[in-house]
A and B are shown apart, each in its own frame.
Chain A
Amino acid sequence: MTVVVTMPMIGTAQAWRDAARGLINANIPPCDVSWGDETAPAGLWDSPPPPCTGKVLTVPKEFLSIARSVVWHSDPARFSLLYQVLWRLRDTPGLLQDRADPELARLRQLQKNVHRCQHKMKAFVRFREIGSPDDPRRSFAAWFEPSHFTVEPTAPWFARRFGDMDWRIITPSVTASFIDGELRYAEGQSKPPLPEDASEQLWTTYFRNIFNPARVKVKAMQSEMPKKYWKNMPEAAAIPDLIASAPARVRAMNDAAPTLPPLRVEKVQQQLAQLPESVWSGNADALRAEISACTRCPLHCHATQAVHGEGPMDAALMIVGEQPGDTEDLAGRPFVGPAGKLLDQLCAETEVDRSKAYITNAVKHFKFKPRGKRRIHQQPSTTEVEQCKWWLDAERAAVQPRVILAMGASAALSLTGNGKDMRNRRGRVHQLDDGTPVVLTFHPSYLLRLQDPDAREAATDLLRTDLTRAHQLAQNLAVRITPDGGGAPVRAAPQ
């Protein structure tokens, strides 16, 4: 005996779900069920489906989402195919993970068709205004011919989008209307006469002009906008003419001789010369401007900008780091990234006022290697450090610090000519040719890289000591120091 289930045109998804639940609870196999829509003729021995009662079958979420789409397909076999798969799901709950099962592949194909049809409906429905533009709530209507029964699943999307106006989407199968914020479905209609809409003319003008005749790709257009949709789209009428006239337009562009510039060019150029300086360039003194324009090594083409030193030009303490990092490169200021935050913290702990020190880097441009969405820091080469020493020397000459704190190997290399063996040399003081003491220490980012918490704590202590020592030297306090390059500790006398 065959159980016959009739599916309504409106509310199909819920109806199928209820029917399928009843059937599966009553243990009726797929071969004994005949699914049809309202137009299917009834057989003599048919019995109605059992009502949905009692226990509930649990199915994977994904099946439900497949079913919710597939019921709107125009294929008459869709309901039985869904029930067939549901039947199999009882025994094989993992069925959906099998991406190669033929029945599921068919279901997924139907689902894809429905999704595409819904997507195209969202794209190609064209409303015409049926009320007056001055109405407080404007009203629009559209005639559309979808390939599947996609009005009902897609209408809520239109309701979310066009919430402040009334609209109707009329199709041969179902009509959706959204009046005063309420969404309703009714039976389909034949094509109604909709009033002309002046915006269609403007839209077609836009369509004609956004087209670039130098790159005609008709197939690419048709694969995404099949001809079946054209009859209800106002702009589509312009397509044949656009394609036909394209080659001639390109030829005309190629053949056209270059023209003389119009007369106003000269006036504009005068105006351009008088434009006020962009705020981006900041208060550029000569040195900053020169550093920004530096092309001594290839690093400048890849970094965002040169990062100059920052701080008072009469600072007693100068802190030199390695090079700007990711954040510094974007912000254009030294030590504002993670290492900068650590330096701030250390300064606070040692009561060194960061704003009174002149902070800069041995290399002014960020050197990095792109990896996906991140930039991986690269240590500057000896050549790059040497090229940039020019600028560090210029900054040193301008600030004339009493003492310099060199953080990390690159800073040491730039200032002392030797960037090696920082672990042993840290804490020592190198005397520059002009007598300025350079306190050598770790770079804060070295601390950030240390995994072992004890080692990190120890290294942080050492950095704190060095920072304090540099600060005390800058304050003209007597400090015990060990000279770089060997020798016994000496007591640095205030100058």
Chain B
Amino acid sequence: MSTRSIESKLAILSDAAKYDASCASSGSTKRDSRDGKGLGSNGGSGICHAYAPDGRCISLLKILMTNFCIYDCAYCVNRVSSNVERARFTVDEVVKLTIEFYRRNYIEGLFLSSGIIRSPDVTMSEMVQIARKLRHEENFRGYIHLKTIPDAAPELIAEAGLLADRLSINVELPTDAAVTQYAPEKDPAQIRKAMGHVRLRKEDSNDRSHTGKRPPKFAPAGQSTQVIVGADASNDATILGQSTRLYSSYGLKRVYYSAFSPIPDSSQNLPLIRPPLKREHRLYQADWLLRFYGFELDEITDVTKDGNLELDYDPKLAWALAHRGLFPLDVNRASREMLLRVPGFGVRTVNRILSTRRHRSLRYEDLTRMGVSMKKARAFVTVTGWSPNKLTDSADLRARFAPPPEQLSLL
């Protein structure tokens, strides 16, 4: 069977890996190879080396070690009961691909995931072997992201964390009930336990020993997870509620939302309704509001009755439209907390406004120069040279922000 060329293996195993949304390569320790003894560097921001026509960035070589899997998760293209083509990379093949792609400046590093073969421990130890070979034999100093198998032994996770920049464990679905229903072999409690383990390890690696020596860094770029949106009936309030708990409990760097998209040879057990991609986008926006704009969860989800975010309005705009009594705000006097709630103002804009306000009062043109989207913001602010007058309270304000009508397709 093992006569597949490396090219056909790459085709199968990258095709199988594309449903993982994460491609981040930022936020790890600074290192480089200026000493001429290794390959690769890392530091600060990540770099997207290409973009696919699906609008997603390609930063890492995102592949599965194998797409053989003994689990039967309904939403997954690689589940045991699916008839997709199967392939398996050897350790050396993954290492060689990563190094050759990296030398040609195609990628920032490797994102390695895998179907589960034989047992979680066997699979994880083979993934760790790849990372070990890259780091110790090839002296690779680029980015490595390892998808961690929650059931794998703690020692394997510990070694993975020392070799990789980021570890991730997918929570897969928004509720425990949904995980049990669609991924019968997975245990949501075990997933949380493994994430807790990673957080504890990471915190331990920050403590200096009594001699003042720092232990080696554990997963310096932190851990992340992914939730599939729209495969079960959970509403956005449930999904975001889970995210806030995950952020607070396990110090996650990111929760990725992945709108369930049709897969080849899909399972009969899944709903046929495909969620709009917009929903995923709105969830990310809400996630940002929760983490960087001081919004509370209920403030965002109480705007609509069914607990879902509005698709036609971004969550901040929807909140502002529902709380017009608080607007318009005087840009020259409002507090930071309130400025952050103005639609069209981002964190950076607010910082700029505050730093300029110390010197002089702001005019309308100044705001446009600072990168404010005034089309959105102007109904909610007053500033020298601009007053929204009755616009803030006008009955058709909501309609003004509605997306333009679209002609139905003739086909």
Residues of A within 8 A of B (CB): 94, 97-100, 102, 105, 119, 122-129, 138, 140, 142, 157, 159-165, 181, 197, 199-203, 205-221, 224-225, 233, 235, 239, 242-243, 246, 250, 253-254, 256, 258-259, 261-262, 264-265, 268-269, 271-272, 275-276, 278-280, 292, 301-305, 327, 329-332, 368, 370-375
Contact = CB atoms under 8 A, between A and B. Distances in A.
A98 B106 contact: no
Interface in B8-46: 10-12, 14-15, 17-19, 32-41, 45
Contacts of A142: 105
Nearest to A157: B41
Interface stretch (B211-219, B261-269, B319-327): B261-269
B4 interface: no
B192 interface: yes
B199 interface: yes
A202 B192 CA distance: 37
Interface in B77-110: 80-83, 97, 100-101, 103-106
Given A214-B262, A301-B176, A304-B249, A221 B34 contact: no
Contacts of A160: 32-34, 41
A305 B277 contact: no
A160 B265 CA distance: 45
B337 interface: no
Contacts of A224: 48, 51, 57
16 contacts: A99-B352, A100-B356, A123-B49, A140-B103, A163-B39, A200-B104, A203-B104, A217-B55, A219-B55, A220-B51, A224-B48, A261-B82, A262-B81, A264-B80, A304-B196, A370-B248
Given A205-B11, A211-B53, A330 B196 contact: yes
Contact of B53 (A216, A272, A304): A216
Nearest to A372: B248
B391 interface: no
Nearest to B15: A209
B275 to A, nearest CB: 11
Q: Which of B45, B55, B196, B247 has the most CB of A within 10 A?
A: B55
B80 A261 contact: yes
A53 to B, nearest CB: 34
Interface string B99-128: 011011110000000000011100000000
A383 B352 CA distance: 50
Given A302-B245, A327-B200, 5 more contacts: A123-B48, A126-B105, A164-B37, A164-B38, A199-B101
B359 interface: yes
B370 interface: yes
Interface residues of B, number: 102
Given A162-B103, A165-B103, A331 B50 contact: no
Contacts of B120: 278
Contact of A99 (B56, B263, B265, B356): B356
Contacts of B154: 279-280
A256 B265 contact: yes
Interface in B242-279: 244-245, 247-251, 259, 261-268, 274, 277
A305 B189 contact: yes
B185 A272 contact: yes
A478 to B, nearest CB: 43
B359 A97 contact: yes
A280 B358 contact: no
B400 interface: no
A301 B53 CA distance: 39
Contacts of A279: 153-154
A203 B6 CA distance: 12
Given A100-B366, A160-B34, A163-B35, A209 B11 contact: yes
B50 to A, nearest CB: 6
Given A215-B277, A250-B262, A331-B200, A233 B248 contact: no
Q: Select the residue from A142, A157, A272 with max chain B CB neighbours within 10 A.
A: A272
A99 B355 contact: yes
Nearest to A198: B100
Given A124-B49, A209-B11, A302-B245, A275 B55 contact: no
Nearest to A250: B262
B57 to A, nearest CB: 7
Contacts of A332: 193, 196
A370 B14 CA distance: 36
Contacts of A259: 82-83, 265
B54 interface: yes
B264 to A, nearest CB: 5
Contacts of B268: 258
A282 to B, nearest CB: 11
B100 A371 contact: no
A375 B52 CA distance: 38
Contacts of B265: 256, 258-259
Nearest to B71: A272
B135 interface: no
A163 B33 contact: yes
B356 A330 contact: no
Given A123-B49, A164-B36, A138 B106 contact: no
Nearest to A376: B248
B374 interface: no
A218 B11 CA distance: 22
Contact of B52 (A138, A207, A305): A207
A246 B53 contact: yes
Contact of A373 (B36, B82, B195, B248): B248
Contact of A330 (B11, B58, B61, B199): B199
A254 B273 CA distance: 11
A199 B107 CA distance: 13
A222 to B, nearest CB: 8
Contact of B104 (A97, A197, A211, A265): A197
B249 A375 contact: yes
A338 B19 CA distance: 41
B158 interface: no
Contact of A211 (B18, B70, B106): B18
A253 B264 contact: yes
B266 to A, nearest CB: 7
Contact of A280 (B6, B101, B190, B274): B190
A94 B359 contact: yes
Contacts of A243: 53
Nearest to B351: A99
